[in-house]
Amino acid sequence: MPKNVFPDFIELIKTKGKLFGPVKQKSKYSFEEISDVQDLDFDYQRTVLGVKKFLTPPRYKTLSFDKEGTKDIIDEPETNIVIGVHPCDIHAIKILDRLFLGNIIDPYYASKRENLTIIGHSCLPDDKCLCQSTGTDMVEDGFDLFLTELEEYYLVWVGSDKGLALTIAAGDLLSEDISDESIREYVRWQQKRSSMFKAVMPSFKYMADIITLNYDSEIWEQFGEKCLSCGTCSLVCPTCNCFNVDDKILMNAEEGFRERMLDSCTLPYYSMVAGDHDFRPDRTTRLKLYYTHKLKEYIGRWGQPGCVGCGRCVTYCPVDINVITVSEALFGEVCDTKEVCE
Amino acid sequence: MIDGKKSKIENTYKSHPVEILGIKDLTSDTRYFKVRFMDEEMKKQFVYKPGQFVIFSIPGLGEATFSISSPPTRRDFIEFGIRRVGSFTEAYFKLKEGDTFEMRGPYGNGFDMESLQGRDLIIIAGGLGAVPLRSALLYAEDRREDFNQVFFLNGARSPEDMLFREDFKAMAARGILDTRLSVDEDPTGEWPYEVGFVTALIPKLAEKINPENTTALICGPPIMYKFVIQELLKINVPKDQILMTLERRMKCGQGHCGHCAIGGRYTCLDGPIFTYYDVQHIKELI
């Protein structure tokens, strides 16, 4: 797709559903509804919230009730299209899909997912992007369309029937004739991008073992001491999906609703049961759950970490507890004390 | 989904109304509820194993998990034992016979009683642990011929604290199961059974059981597990035959909300029954 027809492409997409894309808001980016193609800004590394904003919103209603009874609140079919999604965030959606659309399908997630069309967009890393280390810098599926931005063209990958339908609708805006020069340019671009990653962590693939070896390490206490239990890491993590459920009654005391809200295992009372027994009363054990679940247990269960290397925790943790600092500290611990490195 | 297929998905979060058939006090803070689904289809559909649990719903207060206390061998009703510990359970203490509420489930793996045929069973309950284990106990009584020896060791703080006290006394009198009831302290001095910790009853079984053919089913307060497991290992019960039922905070019951994770396992899907062998290396277990 030649770049000069991109605005036409956006206009076409907008006729198919409600369009969202990356928009600059002060120093941060966010997926917002797009009315004007000028609002789109693809020169970004990460939005504050990933695509989970659409799939497991921070707070949403699942049930309403009144004196007559209860009623499920499941989204009606509609089309939301989000454009500009980076490979790491597409991998994150695949991880959420696996959880919510696995053996037991979550109807609330399923309806939101069914309503969402995903148009990916290529990106260049900054010093916080570690997707190369997590193996999520490239993406082959999980999107409907994927746009790679070259000098004068977009290379458009079709990832689903929904995506194919969009390309058919786009008609002449897209061309199937790809010149050899475009292919060479694409390869050169990929090589350039691959060489730009600064946050390369060779230790990452051993993290499951390293965490097991370091389960009783003092490092956890040190991080626990620093942790503010604010839950920001979970809020911004594109694969953190834990939710709490709460019922609210309106002021008329006759009707109300049940809602889900994002929760975080780093928050106090996350593991408290009836009778006030708390299985994880301190910050250290909660932080340990966060990192063992994300970096060790996901590998055990699914063969890959629950981290997609988006760098959000690196950007937003106010006290620098993130996948890089934790992994490096644990890896260092193994190297220093157990002499297993090299 | 991703191919744009629209499909009707069954809502596994949907609760179904039940009617309360009976209520009685078990102790000063724990009450027994006997319920039945209102919907004929649910009555037929609702099949469960001992050790499984359900989620009760009260619009306005939320949802909470409760273990099923009745055995699947008795199909006309479902029983629960509920301790008053917070606003949710408090609401249940205001309900009367004939009232209705909603629940969904069953969830969890439960005890696979059929796989235990021909084995010696040691069923060990502490405190509230008697609620879920009562399901396995009554199953073992109803299907006594399925098992070899069946021992029931039950511990409570004091005689007044023992749940299902009269039921268990009757069970001891029936003698279908080798029932041993123990209280930590007996201020009245009138307790006709054992006095002391329930763990003290385990060594006495050493001569009676064939360890290789023995399975232990345990449920009790977190503190109990460590000591019970130690004693069971001493009498050579295999690690993979120590079945423990664990409690964790849950919001969904189906592996979505994350709260019940222990290591990489979800208590709601992979548990609440775990073998000691499977979880012996999971540090934050108990």
Q: Are residues A231 and A327 in the same domain?
A: yes
What distance lies between CA A182 and its chain's CA centroid?
30
Asked if B259 is an interface residue toward chain A (Cβ–Cβ < 8 A), one would say yes
Domain final residue pick, A195, A228, A250: A195
Same domain? A134 vs A46: yes
pLDDT for residue B1: 39
Flag whether B265 is in a domain.
no
Q: What value does the mean pLDDT take over residues B5-26?
A: 84
Do B58 and B138 reside in the same domain of the chain? Answer: no
Residue A216, Cβ density class (10 Å: 0-12 exposed, 13-18 middle, ≥19 buried): exposed
Same domain? For A62 and A126 the reply is: yes
B284: confidence class by pLDDT, cuts 50, 70, 90 = low
- Who among B11, B15, B251 is closest to A243 (CB)? B251
Final residue in a domain of this structure, among B107, B124, B141: B107
3-state secondary structure at position B179: strand
Instruction: Specify whether A253 is located in the same domain as A165.
Output: no
As given in the structure block, the two tokens for residue B223 are 């503190």
**Residues B221-255: pLDDT tens digits?**
888 998 999 999 999 999 999 999 988 888 898 98
Query: Domain range holding A92?
Result: 3-195
DSSP notation for B228-263: HHHHHHHTT--GGGEEEE-----SSSSSSS-TTEET
B254/A245 Cβ within 8 A: no
CB contact residues (below 8 A), chain A span 2-61, against chain B:
none
Q: Which domain holds residue B101?
A: 16-107
Residue B176 touches partner A, C-beta closer than 8 Å: no
- Which has the minimum average pLDDT: A11-25, A284-298, B140-154, B158-172? A284-298
User: How many domains are contained in chain A?
Assistant: 2
Q: Would you say residue B85 lies in a domain?
A: yes
| Domain shared by B61 and B149, yes or no | no
Identify whether residues B161 and B204 lie together within a single domain: yes
Q: Are residues A29 and A144 in the same domain?
A: yes
Q: What is the pLDDT of residue B188?
A: 86
Domain match, A19 and A102 both: yes
| Residue A39 and residue A175 in one domain | yes
User: Are A168 and A219 part of one and the same domain?
Assistant: no
User: Which of B58-72, B179-193, B210-224, B268-282 has the lowest average pLDDT?
Assistant: B268-282
Same domain, B239 and B126: yes
A180 and A261 within one domain: no
Q: Do residues B151 and B133 share a domain? A: yes
The pLDDT assigned to B3 comes to: 42
Task: List, as ranges, residues 274-293 from A with C-beta within 8 Å of B.
Answer: 274-277, 279-280, 285, 288-289, 292-293
- Do B197 and B133 lie in a common domain? yes
**SS3 assignment, position A316:** helix
State how far the Cα of B255 lies from the Cα of B248, in Å rounded to an integer.
Answer: 13
**B124 and B98 part of one domain:** no
Does the pLDDT at position B282 exceed 70?
Answer: yes
- Domain boundary pick from A195, A218, A234: A195
Q: What pLDDT does B286 receive?
A: 56
Partner residue opposite B4 with nearest CB, options A70, A161, A293: A161
A304 neighbourhood in chain B, CB within 8 Å: none
Q: Is residue B91 part of a domain?
A: yes
Please indicate, yes or no, whether residues A115 and A227 belong to a single structural domain of this protein.
no
Domain count, chain B: 2
pLDDT digits (tens, 9 = 90+) for A48-102: 999 999 999 999 999 999 988 889 998 888 899 999 999 999 999 999 999 999 9
Which residues in chain B have their CB less than 8 angstroms from residue A280's CB?
284
Q: Which of A176, A195, A214 is the last residue of a domain?
A: A195
Neighboring chain B residues of A249 at a CB cutoff of 8 Å = 60
Give contacts of A 307-336 with B, CB under 8 A.
none
* Mean pLDDT of the A6-26 span: 94
Is B1–A272 a contact, with Cβ atoms under 8 angstroms apart? Answer: no
* Residue from B259, B268, B278, B282 whose CB has the most chain A CBs within 10 Å, to mutate: B259
Instruction: Output DSSP code: residue A174.
Output: S
**d(CA A336, nearest CA chain B) in Å:** 24
What average pLDDT is seen over chain B? Answer: 91
> Domain check: are B97 and B139 in the same one?
no
pLDDT tens digits along A250-266: 988 889 999 999 999 98
Residue of A nearest to B62 (CA): A247
Please calculate the CA angle A128-A131-A135 and round it to the nearest 5 degrees.
160
Cross-chain residue pair B9–A297, CB shorter than 8 Å: no
Under a CB-based contact definition with an 8 Å cutoff, are residues B261 and A306 in contact? no
Interchain contact, B261 vs A289, CB within 8 Å: yes
> Do A181 and A34 belong to one domain?
yes
Residue B25 forms part of a structural domain: yes
CA B165 distance to own-chain centroid: 16
| Residue B252 maps to a domain | no
Under 8 Å between Cβ of A258 and A61: yes
For residues A112 and A136, state if they share a domain.
yes
Average pLDDT over residues B101-115: 95
Please indicate, yes or no, whether residues B100 and B140 belong to a single structural domain of this protein: no
A106, A213, A290, best to mutate vs chain B, most B CBs in 10 Å: A106
- Assign A342 a pLDDT band (cuts: 50, 70, 90): very low
Residue B278 placed within a domain: no
The whole-angstrom distance between B216's CA and the closest CA on chain A is 24
* Residue A268 pLDDT exceeds 60: yes
How many residues are recorded in chain B? 286
Instruction: Give yes or no for A267 touching B (CB within 8 A).
Output: no
Task: Establish whether the linkage from the previous residue to B272 is cis, with ω within 30° of 0.
Answer: yes
Interchain pair A300, B257: CB under 8 A: no
Residues of A in contact with B247 (CB under 8 A): 273
Contact status of B264 with chain A (Cβ, < 8 Å): yes
CATH of the domain at B49: 2.40.30.10
The mean pLDDT value for A19-35 works out to 94
Q: Say whether residue A89 is in contact with chain B using an 8 A CB cutoff.
A: no
- B59/A70 touch (CB, cutoff 8 Å), yes or no: yes
pLDDT at A340 over 70: no
The backbone torsions φ and ψ at residue A118, rounded to the nearest 5 degrees and listed phi first, read -115, 120
Name chain A contacts of B64, Cβ cutoff 8 Å.
274
Taking each helix axis from N to C end, the angle separating A283-291 and A219-226, rounded to the nearest 10 degrees, works out to: 110
The pLDDT score that the predictor gives to residue A208 is 85
Chain B nearest-CA distance from A29, in A, is 26
pLDDT of residue A19: 96
Contact yes or no for B237/B211 (Cβ under 8 A)? yes
pLDDT tens figures, B135-144: 999 999 999 9
Match 């290591």 to its residue by tokens: B263
B273 inside domain:
no
Q: What does the pLDDT read at residue B25?
A: 94
Q: How far is A267 from chain B (nearest CA, A)?
A: 11
Q: Is B275 part of a structural domain of the chain? A: no
B66 and B159 inside one domain? no
DSSP string, A14-36: HTTSEEEEEEEETTEEEEEE-SS
